[in-house]
């Protein structure tokens, strides 16, 4: 793949080479000598150049098509721009080409027009004809001069033969001297007839007399062939170059011989030809020659001109196309960048910077985009940091925070909210307030409770909400407010788990009550007890037997009742006492055996049956508290079965393995009277009892102790007869991880068969 | 044994007087104090062999009073704590400070005398 820079270099190179060769070609047409030699070479080079251009254009088209197929931003614009540019360039070019070829064809045709050729031929003939006419005239003139010479010399010319060969060295003086008279005659003739030079020659070509416009030169002697022609009796006339002074007309005639000495004489006359006639003739001659030459090349000239023009056309078109691609790309590349940048920003990649490649409107646009991008990134960053800050604050808050939008869709929740509600609130974000799954009992209860407030309150509200969930009763103090006065922005709810607080307050109150009660009751009991004992001590021995019996019975009753009251106060103190268990490893089975043995001895008619699982894991529990639970429950069971024919109590232990942890289960099942259905839900509340005697705190204390151990206790009536109590205790006590009622209920067998 | 001198500290007059009567019948010499200040005054007059000290009094906690005596070493008498709202923790605390024993209200004469007999055997 050639990259953009190489492509550009290649284009420019091809462009220059082609331009140069085209220039050569157009010159070559006018240079017929080098024409055919250079032309083919240039044609080849140009064709190669065109091929390179075609290759480049092809690549550009391919790339554009690929971009169109990929639906790249800006590719359609590129296509439109390229098409427009090409149309703009090509149409005028083709029009110019059309007319140019027409002109060339017609121009060359006109150039070689028949009339022009005829005119040239005619003018050549004309020049020859006019020259011939002059020559004939001059011959005539020369012959007349020869006759003049004959007449004048009949009497007085007596030219003695001189051996001219002896006088070669000083020919002029000799002739001048001997032919004095002749010279003046000749001069006269020469001037009269406009000759350059006149010379009288002997038969052998020897100069006898001469006359010239230039006095100091030796007359030009005609050639041997001319002399021969004259000896044969024919006069000579012809154009000859003389002494480097240009063309002269040379006329040589025989001087008529009517002399006595019978010697033949010749007259030679040299006439100048008019200079411009000479030049014109020469020009005509040259032009004609040139014309002939060109006429021969007429057809190839036409073809090559058209070819050159075609090459120029193709070259221009291809260059225009390439330029169109180039400028379209240059124009659309910032647009593509912008499109790409916008796409990136819309995908959340803020702060994308584009390179500003130009200072025009597009450059300004790109610059604006960069500024916008930076600002968006900054704003986003500020927003993010603000959100992070807010989240950090909310995360550190011990209160739960929930927000709802206008349509009461659950929008946000902090970590504390999830922790208080014991569920991952992230899973329910975005859901409408009414669409929480039923398994999320606490969450749905909370939402149901706050919904009326969200619907009807636009100002602050506060409500204490009690939830019953997996970890038991939970009291939440909720405060809510609309984010604006109309509730258009949604609502925010802040809540705290005040269960522990309330429980603590309750515990403290109970504890204080117990303390006071103990003091206020036990203090008066002391003197009662002491007095009763004092009475016995002092008077029992001194009384008669009847009185002594009475005193004994009465004081015993007092002492007994004081004891009962003391027990009651102590039990209450136990219940009200703040939790302080001392967990240590404990095996439940031996404890059950021990307690059951005790009660079996106390209540012989009751059948106490043990169904204990072997290898029951030891648990972490307070030994004394657990014994207290078992005492209370077995005592209850025995009391419940008092009026039954065959009282029976079953004690069962087993291990329960839940997904979260390992538990042990203790069940006490009796076939007694069972619990009244109306009381069964509140049987663990203090002072709720089915018995006529007792403190009413037995089951309440059981529940308290079980919960202190992180366990759970449930009662229910059996399907047939009696009731069962089920206790589940974790093998390991974990904080804040009380057993869920649901998992316990699920596993509590409906039929507790005895 | 008859020479033993007992101080009873309790804010309840009935309890104080009954205890005094019973113990004097048993042959002890007995003084009473109704609060912490009276107890302090009383022991300055005569050092008791035994103090029966109520925990809950209007002016001062019995345990605090015991602590005060033990800390400034102003008292080497045997102290038995009496409490109406006795918890194991309070009893343990009192004995740690220096009480000899801990008796829960309501008191029983028989039990008290048994304890005193045991104590005297121990002291002698």
Please tell me which of the candidates B21, B22, B106 has its beta carbon nearest to residue A525.
B106
Q: Are A679 and A709 in contact (CB under 8 A)?
A: no
Is residue B30 very low, low, confident or very high in pLDDT (cuts 50, 70, 90)?
A: very high
A584 strand-pairing partners: A621
Our CA-based measurement puts residue B73 at a distance from the nearest CA of chain A, in whole angstroms, of 30
Q: What pLDDT score was predicted for residue A261?
A: 56
Give the burial string for A477-500 (b: 16+ CB within 10 Å, else e): bbebbbeeeebeebbbbbbbbebe
Please tell me which of the candidates A521, A534, A559 has its beta carbon nearest to residue B18.
A534
Query: Cβ separation of B106 and A515 shorter than 8 Å?
Result: no
B-chain residues near A514 (CB < 8 A): 85
A-chain residues near B84 (CB < 8 A): 518-519, 521-523, 526
Please tell me which of the candidates B12, B84, B108 has its beta carbon nearest to residue A533.
B108
Q: Are A710 and A718 in contact (CB under 8 A)?
A: no
Q: What pLDDT score was predicted for residue B39?
A: 92
Q: What pLDDT score was predicted for residue A421?
A: 84
Q: What pLDDT score was predicted for residue A744?
A: 42
pLDDT digits (tens, 9 = 90+) for B49-95: 999 998 888 888 888 899 888 888 777 888 999 887 666 677 888 88
How confident is the prediction for chain B on average, in pLDDT?
86
Give the burial string for A607-646 (b: 16+ CB within 10 Å, else e): ebeeebeeebeebbbbeebbbbbbebbbbbbbbbbeebee
pLDDT digits (tens, 9 = 90+) for A618-647: 898 888 889 889 988 998 898 888 888 889
Our CA-based measurement puts residue A732 at a distance from the nearest CA of chain B, in whole angstroms, of 26
Query: Cβ separation of A529 and B56 shorter than 8 Å?
Result: no
Q: What pLDDT score was predicted for residue A491?
A: 86
Q: What pLDDT score was predicted for residue A182?
A: 59
For A112, A463, A465, the CA distances from A479, given in Å and listed in that order, are 111, 6, 10
Instruction: Count Cα atoms within 13 angstroms, Cβ side, for A575.
Output: 24
Q: What pLDDT score was predicted for residue A652?
A: 93
Query: Cβ separation of B15 and A527 shorter than 8 Å?
Result: yes
Nearest to A655 by CA among A645, A665, A641, A644: A665
Q: What pLDDT score was predicted for residue A589?
A: 92
Our CA-based measurement puts residue A538 at a distance from the nearest CA of chain B, in whole angstroms, of 10
A608 strand-pairing partners: A649
Q: What pLDDT score was predicted for residue A177?
A: 40
Q: What pLDDT score was predicted for residue A669?
A: 93
Q: Which residues of B touch A (CB under 8 A)?
A: 12, 14-15, 18-19, 21-22, 56, 84-85, 87, 104-110
B-chain residues near A535 (CB < 8 A): none
Mean pLDDT (10-residue bins), chain A, 754 residues: 63 76 69 64 80 86 87 81 86 88 81 75 82 83 82 50 41 41 73 81 79 72 81 80 73 72 75 74 80 75 79 83 83 79 82 74 82 88 90 87 86 86 84 80 83 79 80 80 75 87 79 80 89 89 89 91 87 74 88 89 88 90 88 89 89 83 89 84 78 76 85 86 89 56 40 40
Please tell me which of the candidates B15, B84, B108 has its beta carbon nearest to residue A518.
B84
Our CA-based measurement puts residue A603 at a distance from the nearest CA of chain B, in whole angstroms, of 30
Structural domain including B70 reads 5-123
Is residue B6 very low, low, confident or very high in pLDDT (cuts 50, 70, 90)?
A: very high
ipTM: 0.87
Q: Are A567 and A561 in contact (CB under 8 A)?
A: no
Q: What pLDDT score was predicted for residue A423?
A: 82
Nearest to A204 by CA among A264, A142, A262: A264
Q: What pLDDT score was predicted for residue A3?
A: 54
- d(CA A470, CA A738) in angstroms, rounded, equals 8
Domain tally, chain B: 1
**CATH classification at residue B29:** 3.40.50.2300
């Amino acid at each position: 793949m050639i990259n953009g820079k190489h492509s550009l270099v290649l284009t420019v190179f091809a462009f220059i080479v082609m331009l140069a060769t085209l220039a050569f070609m157009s010159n070559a047409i006018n240079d017929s000598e080098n024409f055919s030699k250079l032309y083919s070479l240039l044609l080849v080079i140009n064709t190669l150049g065109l091929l390179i251009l075609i290759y480049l254009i092809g690549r550009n088209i391919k790339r554009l098509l690929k971009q169109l197929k990929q639906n790249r931003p800006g590719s359609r614009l590129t296509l439109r721009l390229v098409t427009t540019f090409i149309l703009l360039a090509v149409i005028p070019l083709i029009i110019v080409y059309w007319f140019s070829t027409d002109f060339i064809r017609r121009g060359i045709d006109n150039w070689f027009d028949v009339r022009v050729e005829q005119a040239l031929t005619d003018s050549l003939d004309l020049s020859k004809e006019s020259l011939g006419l002059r020559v004939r005239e001059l011959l005539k003139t020369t012959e007349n001069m020869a006759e003049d010479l004959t007449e004048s010399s009949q009497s007085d010319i007596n030219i003695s033969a001189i051996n001219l060969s002896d006088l070669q060295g000083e020919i002029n003086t000799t002739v001048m001297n001997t032919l004095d008279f002749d010279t003046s005659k000749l001069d006269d003739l020469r001037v009269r007839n406009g000759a350059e030079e006149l010379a009288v020659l002997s038969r052998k070509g020897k100069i006898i007399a001469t006359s010239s416009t230039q006095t100091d030169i030796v007359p030009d002697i005609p050639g041997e062939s001319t002399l021969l022609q004259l000896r044969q009796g024919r006069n000579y006339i012809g154009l000859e170059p003389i002494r480097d002074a240009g063309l002269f007309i040379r006329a040589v005639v025989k001087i008529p011989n009517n002399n006595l000495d019978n010697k033949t004489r010749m007259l030679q006359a040299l006439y100048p030809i008019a200079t411009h006639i000479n030049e014109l003739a020469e020009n005509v001659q040259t032009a004609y020659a040139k014309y002939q030459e060109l006429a021969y090349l007429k057809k190839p000239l036409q073809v090559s001109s058209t070819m050159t023009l075609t090459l120029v056309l193709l070259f221009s078109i291809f260059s225009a196309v390439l330029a169109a691609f180039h400028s379209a790309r240059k124009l659309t590349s910032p647009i593509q960048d912008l499109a790409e940048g916008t796409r990136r920003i819309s995908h959340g990649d803020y702060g994308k910077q584009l390179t500003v490649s130009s200072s025009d409107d597009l450059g300004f646009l790109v610059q604006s985009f960069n500024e916008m991008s930076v600002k968006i990134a900054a704003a986003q960053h500020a927003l993010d940091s603000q959100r992070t800050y807010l989240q950090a604050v909310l995360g550190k808050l011990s209160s739960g925070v929930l927000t709802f939008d206008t349509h009461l869709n659950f929008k946000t929740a902090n970590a504390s909210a999830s922790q208080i509600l014991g569920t991952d609130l992230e899973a329910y974000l975005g859901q409408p307030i009414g669409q929480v799954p039923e398994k999320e009992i606490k969450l749905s209860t909370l939402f149901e409770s706050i919904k009326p407030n969200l619907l009807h309150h636009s100002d602050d509200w506060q409500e204490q909400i009690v939830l019953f969930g997996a970890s038991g009763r939970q009291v939440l103090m909720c405060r809510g407010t609309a984010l604006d006065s109309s509730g258009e922005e949604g609502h925010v709810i802040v809540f705290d788990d005040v269960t522990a607080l309330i429980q603590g307050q309750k515990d403290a109150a109970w504890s204080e009550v117990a303390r006071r009660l103990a003091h206020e009751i036990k203090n008066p009991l002391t003197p009662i007890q002491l007095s009763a004992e004092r009475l016995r001590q002092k008077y029992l021995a001194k009384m008669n037997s009847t009185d002594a019996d009475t005193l004994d019975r009465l004081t015993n009753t007092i002492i007994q009742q004081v004891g009962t009251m003391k027990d009651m106060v102590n039990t209450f103190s136990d219940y009200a006492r703040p939790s302080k268990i001392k967990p240590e490893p404990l095996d439940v089975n031996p404890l059950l055996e021990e307690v059951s043995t005790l009660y079996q001895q106390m209540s012989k008619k009751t059948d106490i049956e043990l169904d204990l699982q072997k290898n029951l894991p030891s648990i972490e529990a307070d030994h004394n508290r657990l014994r207290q639970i078992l005492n209370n429950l077995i005592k209850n069971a025995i009391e419940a079965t008092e009026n039954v024919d065959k009282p029976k109590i079953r004690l069962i232990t087993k291990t329960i393995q839940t997904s979260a942890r390992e538990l042990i289960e203790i069940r006490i099942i009796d076939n007694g009277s069972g619990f009244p259905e109306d009381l069964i839900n509140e049987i663990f509340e203090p002072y709720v009892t089915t018995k006529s005697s007792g403190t009413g705190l037995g089951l309440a204390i059981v529940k308290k102790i079980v919960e202190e151990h992180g366990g759970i206790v449930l009662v229910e009536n059996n399907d047939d007869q009696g009731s069962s109590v089920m206790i589940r205790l974790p093998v390991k006590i974990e904080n804040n991880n009380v057993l869920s009622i649901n998992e316990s209920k699920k596993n509590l067998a409906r039929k507790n068969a005895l | 044994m008859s020479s033993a001198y007992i101080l009873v500290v309790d804010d309840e007059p009935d309890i104080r007087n009954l205890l005094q009567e019973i113990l004097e019948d048993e042959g002890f010499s007995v003084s009473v104090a109704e609060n912490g200040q009276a107890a302090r005054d009383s022991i300055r007059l005569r050092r008791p062999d035994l103090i029966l000290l109520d925990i809950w009094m209007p002016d001062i906690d019995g345990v605090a009073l015991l602590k005060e005596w033990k800390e400034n070493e102003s008292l080497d008498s045997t102290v038995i704590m009496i409490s109406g709202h006795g918890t194991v923790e309070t009893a343990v605390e009192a004995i740690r400070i220096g009480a000899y024993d801990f008796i829960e209200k309501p008191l029983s004469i028989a039990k008290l005398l048994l304890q005193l007999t045991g104590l005297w055997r121990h002291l002698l």
